[in-house]
Amino acid sequence: MLLNVHIKNIALIDDANVNFTDNLNILTGETGAGKSIIMGALKIGMGDKLPKDIVREAGKEGFCQLLFLVDDEAVLEQIRQLGVEPTEDGEILITRRIVNSRTINTINDMAVTAARLREVSALLIDMHTQHQQQTLLKKNEHMKLLDKFGRAAIEPLKREVAQRHADYTELVDQMDKLSMDEAERSRRAEFLKYQIAEIESANVKAGEDEDIEHQYNKMVNSRDIVAAASEVYSVTGYENQSSAGNEIGRVLVNLKGIKELDDEIDGLYSQLENIDALLNDFNVELSNYMQSMNFDDSEFREVESRLDVINDIKGKYGSTVDEVNRYLEESKAEYEKLSEYDEYIAELSGRINKAKKLMIDAADKLSAERKKQAKLMCKEIKTALSDLSFMQVDFDMVFDRLSECTANGIDDCYFVISTNVGEKLRPLYDVASGGELSRIMLAVKSCMAVEDNIGTLVFDEIDVGISGRAAQAVAEKMALISRKHQVISITHLPQIAAMADSHYLIEKSADEGKTVTKIVRLSETESITEIARLLGGASITDAVMSNALEMKQMAEKTKKY
């Protein structure tokens, strides 16, 4: 459930801190007091895109914070799978800070993206707005509601259909790529044959390109290499009187004559002897290296020619030897298919037919389960609609079959409704009025709430277009839903306000030359006064107050049953 909402410097809200309670939380206020701003702030906290100029005072930080308490272990595990760790007591603290048009999002002090914030908040709160109920007028939204209602049974079947559809589509794509006339097929086969022969004749081994390039670079630079090596040999060898080898040999003779006189000299003599041996070994290896650099023009031309062949092959068929070999294998496979085209096409056609049958079978199973879940859902919605003063209502779902199976199955389904005796069922998107649509959406939400683990439901003026007995029915239904889910609702109807377990007033006022919106929780007496305002407008008489008190008392009795 949503424990607390803290909003600062957002639109007309300077600083609002609201604690919500279990069951039914109702917000009321005068037109223009800022009720929509509260809903907007909630949506911001849930990760919605920030409206332009949402920050009240430029240069100051905008702040929106939502504190949730989650006691459902399944929901907590889903949150953990999204990389967010709840506190030990199950608290989730969502914070959005807006500084200089930049937004900083955190959940339990961990920085997250807006997308991740939306994923987490979707597990915690379901917000219904006037705009959302318009989705009932969109045919393609009806199946989404059904799939959500029966997702435990439907989701595995949807995954199966999606996989079967992907398998089938991949095979059809293969067939499309191979579909060509005989002349085109012959040309393609000859071209592949030529490429295969060219690559195989080159016979490039793994790593050979690097070895040959190294040899080539060595040969090209051999003159410079030998010149530099000769200079080193001249300095370190024995050819010149001043070479290091000769000089060390000379001083060894000097040390040998005195090493018997002092043990320390003897140790130094041994070190220099080692240096002389190492230098001698170095010069032998350097001499051998220089001799290895002697090669004739034919060797160079051979290496150069081989490098040209390798680079030519790599230039045509891949930037590396591995890519060339992979292209060779793919070309061989395609050539084999073209060489045995009729047999391969026959085999591929058989695989396509089999894949299509598996896909259709999976889609039929999905369709059957959807129809089963639709009966359950429509039955629950019909009952809920009866509770919402649809006296002679009938509600069902029509299933049509698509001409082609999709990754989502083969169903084209939509809700149908009849609200009068003798009236045939007609598509919901054709017949529902504004007031009816509000109640139908509430009925749908009440059924979905049973299936969902979401703890908080938010309704933004779901009572638009209704009054009288229908308004009372909506109030009772919301109270019923709030027994198992926290409900937060903005309303302008006294019947719904009277049903509140916690009643909040949203009011606009002038404070130090600024217009601000405030939210205060009302006492029972204050709540009755607000209900009277909703009943009687600006003039609140004793009769209106008495009516408001009676309405509150009747609501309390209703909630006990």
Which domains, from first to last, does the chain contain? 1-124+454-561 (3.40.50.300), 186-339 (no CATH)
Residue 114: how many CA atoms within 13 Å on its side-chain side? 13
- What is the dihedral angle through the alpha carbons of 375, 377, 379, 381, rounded to the nearest 10 degrees? -150
pTM: 0.64
pLDDT band at 146 (very low <50, low <70, confident <90, very high): very high
Q: Taking CA 371 as the corner, what is the angle to CA 368 and CA 373, rounded to the nearest 5 degrees? A: 110
Q: Which helix (H) or strand (E) holds 188?
A: helix 182-202
Cα 147 from Cα 22, distance rounded (Å): 29
Determine contact, residues 7/40, Cβ cutoff 8 Å: no
What is the mean predicted confidence (pLDDT) over 196-221? Answer: 84
DSSP symbols for 23-73 = SEEEEE--TTSSHHHHHHHHHHHTTPPPPTT-BSSTTSPEEEEEEEE---H
DSSP symbols for 325-379 = HHHHHHHHHHHHHHHTHHHHHHHHHHHHHHHHHHHHHHHHHHHHHHHHHHHHHHH
pLDDT band at 482 (very low <50, low <70, confident <90, very high): confident
Q: Highest mean pLDDT: which of 95-99, 166-170, 171-175, 471-475?
A: 166-170
User: Tens of pLDDT along 509-533?
Assistant: 776 667 778 889 999 999 999 999 9
pLDDT value of position 67: 93
Cα 163 from Cα 408, distance rounded (Å): 10
What φ, ψ does residue 95 adopt, rounded to 5°?
Answer: -130, 135
What is the mean predicted confidence (pLDDT) over 26-54? Answer: 78
Q: Highest mean pLDDT: which of 26-40, 329-343, 372-386?
A: 372-386
Cα 498 from Cα 383, distance rounded (Å): 24
User: Tens of pLDDT along 296-318?
Assistant: 667 777 878 888 888 898 889 98
* Percent of the residues in the chain that have a pLDDT greater than 90, as a whole number: 30
pLDDT value of position 403: 94
Checking DSSP bridges between strand 24-28 and strand 502-511, what pairing results, if any? parallel
pLDDT value of position 524: 92
What length is written for the chain? 561
* Percent of the residues in the chain that have a pLDDT greater than 70, as a whole number: 92
